[in-house]
Amino acid sequence: MDGLRTERLTLRRWREADRPVFHRLNADPVVMRFFDKRLSREEADATMDRWNAGLDREQMSFLAAERLSDGAVIGTIGLSPVTEDSYAFAPTVQIGWRLLPDAEGRGYASEGARACLAYGFDVLNLPEIVAQCVVENRPSETVMLRLGMTLRGTFDHPKVAADTHPHLVRHSLYGLTADAWRRASRQSISQPG
């Protein structure tokens, strides 16, 4: 998965030099508005290390999204296993993205996510990939729909405290099967254009 390329992005392993931008990404109040907390520098460093270790172990992770035009890391896009029993839809693999504010709304999340879906379905032979977000997170839901994912239902996130973050508890769960991905891919190839 390390080194996936799209028209405008490289999705790659996090590097030591990326630590400041990774911290900025995970501490930014706009970026983290749908998460229950922003990460400290130490928490961000531990998360980055955990994501790189996951890439080595699972051949998938949330990767640095590096813009080809200037080499800037603009966020993270990737795949991650969901194995914890606290999630009713586990075990499965989820797709996700998080972009810096100046990169939002430019199609980067959809572009990078399509490359991750292709990798997940065509290389890892996954049967399904899911995505989740806070129900009020319209930008992420728009990306999920653009990717061809369908709403599977809603659930209360098991790791979000309802007493301190009641507006972040309810999540939407979207999914896409390998068969649906392949059908959509064949249709887009056969459409005149």
**What pLDDT, in 10s, does the model give residues 2-27?**
889 999 999 999 999 999 999 999 99
Using CA atoms, how far apart are residues 90 and 75, in angstroms rounded to an integer?
A: 26
**CATH homologous superfamily for 4-190?**
Gcn5-related N-acetyltransferase (GNAT) (3.40.630.30)
Residue 31 to residue 93: CA distance in whole angstroms: 23
Beta bridge partners of 175: 130, 150
The whole-angstrom separation of Cα 131 and Cα 144 is 7
In which residue are the tokens 């239902």 written? Answer: 153
Which residue's structure tokens are 């993270």? 76
- Dihedral sign from CA coordinates of 86, 80, 179, 170: positive
Query: What would the pLDDT profile of 93-130 be if each residue is shown by its tens digit?
Result: 999 999 999 999 999 999 999 999 999 999 999 999 99
Adjacent-strand bridge partners of 93: 81
Q: Per-residue pLDDT tens for 30-70?
A: 998 898 889 999 999 999 999 999 999 999 999 999 999 99
- The gap from C-alpha 11 to its chain's centroid, in whole angstroms, comes to 12
User: Where are the domains positioned within the chain?
Assistant: 4-190
Tokens 């996090």, located at residue: 14
